[in-house]
Structure formats: structure tokens, C-alpha cells
Structure 1
């Protein structure tokens, strides 16, 4: 199992024919933004302002999103203080 500094547990579940639930954990000194690009969800995780390293204390987050074009694809982007962007993991399901 891969481990990441800015992501804890990750899980997705189909709620109904139109929606998916994404559960994930981020450090308590990070923020995230959910956007949609070309029928794909992007969850960008960044350190809060004036923070240098991710905390070891994780908090749970739940988002409910629509299934787009009979597909569910979500990429997590972790923006490290050094400027490195880790574009993993990717969740993908076709219906």
C-alpha cells in the first residue's frame, strides 16, 4: 500500500446511479479544493498558510459527487512546500 504525507485513508462508494461518495483524510494543517476538469474530479491538497510540513494528525473529509459521462475518475494532487506536485492516487471506475 502506498503512503502519502498529505493523504491518509481513501475510499469511494457508489451512493446511487448518479452519485459517488469519496471519503479521505488530510492533515489538520492542510486544506483541499475539489474541482472538475474534463469530466474528472481533482482534489488538490495544500498546506495551510505559514505551514511547512504536513501534520501527522489527520482529519476525515467526505464529498458527494456526480458520476460524469458514466465514469468516475478522481485524481488527488498533493502540493508540497518545495513546489513538487504528487498526482497520486487516482480513483477510476467505468459504469
Structure 2
């Protein structure tokens, strides 16, 4: 259940912050940072549908090549990670 056809190849779900319900995404270039910002609501809706619960509340698009997420965060739930895939 891909949100957008090209996103699985250029945007990675990096980490999910359960305390704030933020999903961090990392594009592979500045050009691919724009689309996730434009379709944030669709990403959140698809993530929640894939997870089977109201898991995600917001999406944060990290800069390409940014540092890894802090240790206090956890991996994104499987349903949320797969929303970027096919």
C-alpha cells in the first residue's frame, strides 16, 4: 500500500517517536523532501491504516543525509514502515 509510487525508492521511514507519535522520514535528496511534506495527511492516514490503529499523528521530513535518530526513539512499527513500500 504505497502512498506514492516513487517514494519507496527515495524516502525511508527512519524512526517513530511513540511519546509524540511523530514519524520521521528521510529522503535521499532535497528533491524528494518536497513530496512527503505535501502529502503529510495522506502519509499519516495510510500509516494508521497499515498499523491498524491511530499510531501516527504527524510526519517530520528530516534533511537528506541527516544524523540518525536519538536513542529515546523507537523503530517505526512494521505497518508504518511498509506504508512507503509497495
Q: TM-score range by the shorter chain?
A: 0.3 to 0.5
Decide which structure has greater helix share.
2
Compare CA radii of gyration and give the structure with the larger one: 1
Decide which structure has greater strand share.
1
| Higher relative contact order (CA closer than 8 Å, sequence separation 6+) | 2
Per the normalisation by structure 1, the TM-score is 0.33
